[in-house]
Amino acid sequence: MDHVEGILKECVAQAHADVNEAYQQSGGSKFANGKFPNDAECKKFIGRDATGERVTLAQELGRLKHAAAFACIKSRLPPELRDNFTVEPRYKPDPDVNGVGLSNGGLDTLHPDFVVHGTRNATDVQCVYEFKFPCLSDHKLNPLIAPGVRGQLQGYQKLTRRCPAAIVSPKGLDSLEK
- Taking only the tens place, the pLDDT of each residue in 85-104 is 999 988 887 767 667 778 88
Write down the pTM of the prediction.
0.90
Beta carbons within 10 angstroms of residue 22's beta carbon: 12
What is the band of 150 on the pLDDT scale with cuts at 50, 70, 90? very high
pLDDT of residue 173: 93
Higher pLDDT, 159 or 119: 159
What is the band of 47 on the pLDDT scale with cuts at 50, 70, 90? very high
Looking at the predicted structure, is the pLDDT value of residue 178 above 60?
Answer: no
Contact at 8 Å (CB) between 130 and 31?
no
| The amino acid at 69 | A
Nearest 10 degrees: Cα torsion 59, 169, 73, 111: -60
pLDDT of residue 98: 61
Contact at 8 Å (CB) between 85 and 1?
no
CA atoms within 13 A on the CB side of 38: 6
Higher pLDDT, 73 or 80: 73
Domain boundaries, given as residue ranges, for the chain: 2-175
What is the band of 153 on the pLDDT scale with cuts at 50, 70, 90? very high
Phi, psi of 82, rounded to the nearest 5 degrees: -65, -20
- % of the chain with per-residue pLDDT over 90: 56
pLDDT of residue 93: 75
Which of these ranges, 54-63, 89-98, 159-168, has the smallest mean pLDDT?
89-98
